[in-house]
Amino acid sequence: MKKNDLTKKIFIALIFGVGIGILFLILREWLILNGKIEVWSTINSLLFQDITKDEGSKAIGILYIIGQLFINSLQLIIIPMVFTSIIIAVTNIEDSKSLKRISIKTFLGFGLSSLLALVYVSIIGMIGYKKNLFSVVINSVSTTANSTSSNPLTILIKAIPQNIISGLSNNGNVLVAVFLGVTFALLLNKLNEENSVIKKGIIELNKMSQIFLTFVIDKFAPIAIFSLLVRTFAIYGIDYLKIASIYFSLTAVTLLIFLFVGYPFIVWISTGLNPIYFMKKILNVAMFAFSTSSSAASLPINTKTTIEKLGVDEITTSFVLPMGMTVNMNGTAIMQVLATMFIAGVAGYEITVFNLITISLLALLASVGTPAAPGSGAIILFTVLSGMGYSNEIAVSAYAIILGINRPLEMLLTALNVVGDSAVAVYVSNSEGKLDVNKYYEVENKNMKLEV
């Protein structure tokens, strides 16, 4: 009953958050058109303003504070949970062959799902390009873009830190936590001490993280999600949406199709299970990820859902989900391919099949290096643009527009990233014969199962 109540509360928060956010957006435009911008400035200062910025030094930003406190609370336990979960998962696999097998299957699942996503978005993108959907004229757009480029392969170097403490002190270093977790676990297995004090302490820390997580989600998730959504939709202007409406609409539809068709297909083809059950049970996680726009913040609730509702064993879940949060970014890759093609089309660059393949590979590498935090996908996009040489004045202007309107798409692609991790976890667990099929097919508050 508590789980069902929480799901209902999150859904209600989602609906009311979007609705009220749109009403605030309409109010904002009406006030601006009628010369009452001071009134909107007061409302914005009271409810929505980011108080960490210079312009928010005297603001209150009630909804911003509520949302940020919630996200910070979730991020507080990301590194401890990932680090300890990986250690527990690996140390519980006494057979080194099993660990190797699970690792291979995990990366195989990530690779095949990414390949499917890239082929799918490449087809959509090329159709849009050939139909001149990206030939949008941009006038009077700022050419300033606050972004820096970097080689996405640096993620490999950063996986091994120079200092253990500093490596575990940054939520953006999840891959470091995964590497150190696996390393510590292998060392503990090598020691082979049954009564290891270190292992007991790690188990206790993991339990404390779970308790803290449950408390935060159960008590604060609905109001925080409501606050995040109202603020997100209220602070957007209409002009930016008009300029890039084609890009926005095409990307949103492309992401939604892959979410509701691509992932069910992956689950069905890899396991033979009825994917309807998967989608019904994972939607709660997808809504949470959409609301927070953070794969990292969604990891705890995704872990609970994958184990308790989808029947995936804890060892597989603890290994696949943290790893997937770092390297399995299908939604991000889809967005980056379409955004790059949109910018190239607007800026007058020709896109060949070879260019498209290069864009897809760069997008895949860049998505792997994307931090599991809100807004990071659009920033890392500049890596792809730099790699392709799309850097003229119009390209930079188009990129600035995408930065302005990409927040709702970031929310949606985050949902895809999170659901994709769970889909691969189901595949790996099923292939290992550890999936609780009865739990997977369990229907809450119903007496009849759906049939394929």
Q: Which two tokens stand for residue 223?
A: 């109001």
Gap between the Cα atoms of 364 and 328, Å rounded: 9
The answer to whether the beta carbons of residues 9 and 222 sit under 8 Å apart is: yes
Is 206 a domain residue?
A: yes
The answer to whether the beta carbons of residues 118 and 337 sit under 8 Å apart is: yes
Neighbouring residues of 146: CB distance < 8 A, sequence distance ≥ 6? none
Is 109 a domain residue?
A: yes
Per DSSP, 17 falls in state H
Is 171 a domain residue?
A: yes
Is 449 a domain residue?
A: no
pLDDT values of the chain reduced to their tens digit, one per residue, 452 residues? 444 566 677 778 878 887 888 888 888 888 888 888 889 889 988 988 888 877 778 888 898 888 888 878 877 877 787 788 778 777 766 566 677 788 889 889 999 999 999 999 999 988 888 887 776 554 444 333 343 344 545 656 777 888 888 777 766 566 677 788 888 888 887 887 767 788 888 888 888 887 887 788 778 878 888 887 788 777 765 544 555 678 888 999 999 999 999 999 999 999 999 999 999 999 989 988 888 777 877 888 899 899 999 999 988 888 888 888 877 888 888 988 888 888 888 777 888 888 888 888 877 776 665 555 555 566 567 767 777 778 776 776 677 667 666 777 888 888 999 999 999 999 999 999 999 999 999 876 544 343 33
Instruction: Using alpha carbons, select from 416, 428, 213, 413 the residue that is nearest to residue 313.
Output: 428
Instruction: Using alpha carbons, select from 300, 355, 330 the residue that is nearest to residue 171.
Output: 300
Gap between the Cα atoms of 285 and 266, Å rounded: 18
Is 445 a domain residue?
A: no
How big is the chain by its Cα radius of gyration, in Å? 22
The answer to whether the beta carbons of residues 188 and 87 sit under 8 Å apart is: yes
Tell me whether residue 185 is exposed, middle or buried, using C-beta atoms within 10 angstroms of its C-beta: 0 to 12, 13 to 18, 19 or more: buried
Is 451 a domain residue?
A: no
The full DSSP string for 138-187 is: --S-----------TTHHHHHTS-S-HHHHTS-TT-HHHHHHHHHHHHHH
Is 241 a domain residue?
A: yes
The per-type count for the chain, helices as H runs and strands as E runs, is 21, 0
Is 446 a domain residue?
A: no
Whole-model pTM: value is 0.66
Gap between the Cα atoms of 208 and 213, Å rounded: 8
Domain that holds residue 70: 2-440
Domain count, the chain: 1
Residue 322 maps to which CATH number? 1.10.3860.10
